[in-house]
Structures are given as C-alpha cells and as structure tokens.
C-alpha cells in the first residue's frame, strides 16, 4: 500500500513540471511515484549504493532528450537530428575527463554492470583468466559469479580478505597472480570499507603482465570530491557507476588512457549496447558539473566523517564493525553480538524505517549488514544525527525499543531533513 502525500510531512512530497498531467492521465502510477517519494523522505535510506539526485539531474532525466535515438558517438551517429545531443554528450565526456583526470571517458554505459562487460569485451577473450575479489568477500556479480556473464565466459580466480582484519592481503593477490597468470586483475568491491591500494595492484599487474581494471562503482563519487584515492593514474580501465556517492542518474561510465579509447568505445557501442540514452547522458553531465564544485567536495568529506561517526557509535553499541571502521561512505557490521543475525536484523530495522542491505562477512557463513551515509548526508545530516541513528539502530536490534516508537522517531528525524525541500 503506497504511502500517500497526505501522510508525508511538509517538504517530503515531490512535484515537478508535468506531474499534474501524469496525475490526471494515470493516477495509479502517479500515486506510486508520490508514495515512493514519501517513503524515501520519511525513512532513513542507509543503502550504501543509493543517494538523492538533485532536482536538476531529475529534470534532465525527465526531458525530451529521452525521445532521441543516437546510436554511435558525437559526430558519427547512425541517426539524423543528433546535433544537440552530440553537444550534451561532448560536455559530459569533457566534464568527466577533467573531474577524474582521464585522457578518455565513455559516458554511454547503461549501468555499472554494462561498463564492466564493455571493459572485459575490450581487453579479454572468452576463456581468459581474471583475478578478482571473490563474491563471499565483497566482489560484485560481474567479478565472476556463475549466474553472471563474467562467471560463464571467463575463468575467474578469487582473492579474499584476511579473516581477522577484513583487509585485502596484497601478498595473497600477488601469489595468486604469479600462480594463475591472469590476463586481467580486477580491484573493486561492493562492500570493502577501506581505500584500495591502486599502486599495489598496479605493481602486481605489471609483475605478471596483466591489465588492471578498477571497478570503482562505489568510491568514484568520493574520488570526484577528493575524499578517496583516484584509480585513474594506475588502472588501464576504470569502470564506475554514476548514481552512488556521485549523485547522478542511474548509469555507468568508463575512464581510460588514449591508447585504449577506441577499443573501449567499440566495446560499448556496437559490441555490448545499442542507442545511447541521451537524457541519462545529459543528466550525467549535470551531475559531473555539480561534482566539480567546492560544495560537492565538502559533501564527500562529510559523507566519510558521517560513516566514521556511525561506525564508531555502532561499535560502542556492541556491533562488530568489519576492519574496525571505514575510510569511505560505507561500513559493514556483524550484528550477532546483539543476538540477531543479518537477515533478521535487516527486517527489524526496515520495520523501524531504517533501510539497508545484508552482506557477506569475511569470516564464517553468517551474513552481516552493509550501510552507507551518502543519502542521509545529502539530506544534511551530520555526526549528531549519526549518533542518534546508532542508538535507535542498536536499540531496535536488542529489542529495547518498541519498533513503532522507533519508527515514529525515525520519521521525526527524517522529516527534519527533507531530501527535496519545498
């Protein structure tokens, strides 16, 4: 049952040009959009991969650029009428190149997964060996899952993390690389809370003559704001998403040096994709423009400060924080010291309005919790709010709080920080 706008506090509604038309024509879908906007505004979005894009990004997404077919690249399209969208794509590419210091940027990938697929298509042949973080340790589906193209078409060798510290063991990565002689090494994760040592990975890749692919889907927004190390100087190819800390539209991006530019572009179109989505590319350009500002740099540093504060407060409440803390926007934790396993913990927290994911833990078979601070920081929350969230969080897991009372408190807290103020 969707939450209606009537139940939403002031500022928690969402309206834009054309919405009244949608409401009149298709009230069923309009209600779902309003209900979802209210859900996002009245609960705490702690999913590490989510954020609130700006109204300007949403405006570009909902624009007539969505009507345009544009196979190919600016100046070399398979369709007519691309003069203006060509300009939008050139702006997006130029802004991405400047933002990340890359010689080449491809902004057409429809998602993070399709960016990784294109990177493999550009550098590898089916059957090649690839070394990547194992899925039980935080590797992504595209890093060798048998349920994904990666595991079906390539021979993945997994590296792990130290079961005690939760940290990548670079000596193990090097030993595996020397043993298996991979064609490519992938560094990047869905759940690793620490900075990745790209220089060490480059050194290992050079040692065995492998390509280095950085899948920076998670930290790329922090990189844009100067709050995390940049993989661009070290990796042959950097794959990323644009919708996490970077706060752009849902989509992917690839960065590389000039010598691989043509191979990457051909791997995206026509090898793995058809027409570029020009509304999304325009929205990426808007997000890159926002990410160039001092305000965005300050935001990314606050995201990390909030994640550190949340990790420390949850640690003080008795949760076991993987690696003892975080350098980034995300943290992972084992809630079992509070007497509840990850999946049950996620359910209890959800009913109290705290929305997050479960994740693998570096030790044993149990599942932990993964949470991130990108969205709540966009809302304007700081360290005092992180301390309050940790108390509510642990109280709900311990059963100290009636979930309905906690839900009310979450609504009150979230309501003070509307993601789209009126």
Catalytic residue positions? 69, 71, 215, 241, 244, 250
Least distance (Å) between residue 189 CB and ligand PLP: 6
Distance, CA of 336 to CA of 357 (rounded, Å): 15
Stretch that binds ligand PLP, among 17-25, 188-196, 301-309, 312-320 (CB under 6 A): 188-196
CA-to-CA separations, 200 to 185, 195, 325, 380, in angstroms, rounded: 12, 12, 22, 36
Site string for ligand PLP, 122-161 (x = CB under 6 A): ------------------x-x-------------------
Distance, CA of 238 to CA of 253 (rounded, Å): 8
Specify the residue, 189 or 377, whose C-beta has the smaller distance to ligand PLP.
Answer: 189
218 near ligand PLP (CB under 6 A): yes
Residues 237-256 that bind ligand PLP (CB under 6 A): 241, 252
Distance, CA of 244 to CA of 242 (rounded, Å): 6
For residue 28, which of 8, 4, 9, 7 has the smallest C-alpha distance? 4
Among 37, 49, 268, 283, binds ligand PLP (CB under 6 A): 49
- Burial bucket for residue 155 (CB in 10 Å: 0-12, 13-18, 19+): middle
- Burial bucket for residue 227 (CB in 10 Å: 0-12, 13-18, 19+): buried
Specify the residue, 13 or 111, whose C-beta has the smaller distance to ligand PLP.
Answer: 111
What dihedral angle (degrees, nearest 10) is formed by the CA atoms of 2, 358, 223, 241?
Answer: -60
Q: How many residues bind ligand PLP (CB under 6 A)?
A: 15
Among 63, 111, 129, 145, binds ligand PLP (CB under 6 A): 111
Among 74, 112, 144, 182, binds ligand PLP (CB under 6 A): 112
Distance, CA of 220 to CA of 233 (rounded, Å): 14
Least distance (Å) between residue 215 CB and ligand PLP: 5
For residue 220, which of 242, 195, 191 has the smallest C-alpha distance? 242
Contacting positions for ligand PLP (CB under 6 A): 49, 111-113, 116, 140, 142, 188-190, 215, 217-218, 241, 252
**Residues annotated in a binding site for (6S)-5,6,7,8-tetrahydrofolate:** 135, 139-141, 259
């Amino acid at each position: 049952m969707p939450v209606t706008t009537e139940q939403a506090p002031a500022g928690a509604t969402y309206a834009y040009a054309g919405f009244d038309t949608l409401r009149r024509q298709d009230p069923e879908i309009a209600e779902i959009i309003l209900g979802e906007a209210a859900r996002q505004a009245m609960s705490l979005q702690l999913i590490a991969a989510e954020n609130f894009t700006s109204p300007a990004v949403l405006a570009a997404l909902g624009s007539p650029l969505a009507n345009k077919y544009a196979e190919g690249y600016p100046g070399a399209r398979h369709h007519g009428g691309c003069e203006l969208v060509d300009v939008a794509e050139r702006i997006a590419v130029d802004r991405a190149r400047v933002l990340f210091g890359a010689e080449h940027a491809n902004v057409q990938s429809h998602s993070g997964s399709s960016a990784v697929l294109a990177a493999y298509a550009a550098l590898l042949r089916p059957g090649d060996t690839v070394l990547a973080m194992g899925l039980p340790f935080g590797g992504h589906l595209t890093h060798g899952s048998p349920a994904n193209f990666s595991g079906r078409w390539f021979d993945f060798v997994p590296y792990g993390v130290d079961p005690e510290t939760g940290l990548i063991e670079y000596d193990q990565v090097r030993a595996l690389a020397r043993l298996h002689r991979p064609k490519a090494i992938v560094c990047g994760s869905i759940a690793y809370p620490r900075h990745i040592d790209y220089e060490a990975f480059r050194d290992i890749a050079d040692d065995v003559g492998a390509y280095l692919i950085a899948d920076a889907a998670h930290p790329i927004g922090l990189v844009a704001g100067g709050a995390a190390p940049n993989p661009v100087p070290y990796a042959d190819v950097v794959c990323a998403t644009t919708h996490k800390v970077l706060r752009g539209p849902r989509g992917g991006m690839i960065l590389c040096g000039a010598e691989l530019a043509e191979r990457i572009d051909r791997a995206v179109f026509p090898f793995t994709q058809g027409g570029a989505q020009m509304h999304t590319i325009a929205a990426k350009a808007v997000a890159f423009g926002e990410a160039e500002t001092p305000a965005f740099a300050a935001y990314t540093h606050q995201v990390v400060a909030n994640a550190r504060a949340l990790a420390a407060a949850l640690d003080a409440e008795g949760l076991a924080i993987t690696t003892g803390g975080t350098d980034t926007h995300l943290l992972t934790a084992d809630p079992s010291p509070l007497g509840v396993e990850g999946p049950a913990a996620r359910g209890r927290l959800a009913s109290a309005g705290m929305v997050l994911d479960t994740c693998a833990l570096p030790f044993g078979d149990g599942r932990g919790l993964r949470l991130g601070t990108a969205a709540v920081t966009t809302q304007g929350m700081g360290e005092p709010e992180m301390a309050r969230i940790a108390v509510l969080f642990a109280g709900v897991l311990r059963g100290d709080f009636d979930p309905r009372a906690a839900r009310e408190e979450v609504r009150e807290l979230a309501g003070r920080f509307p993601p789209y103020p009126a």
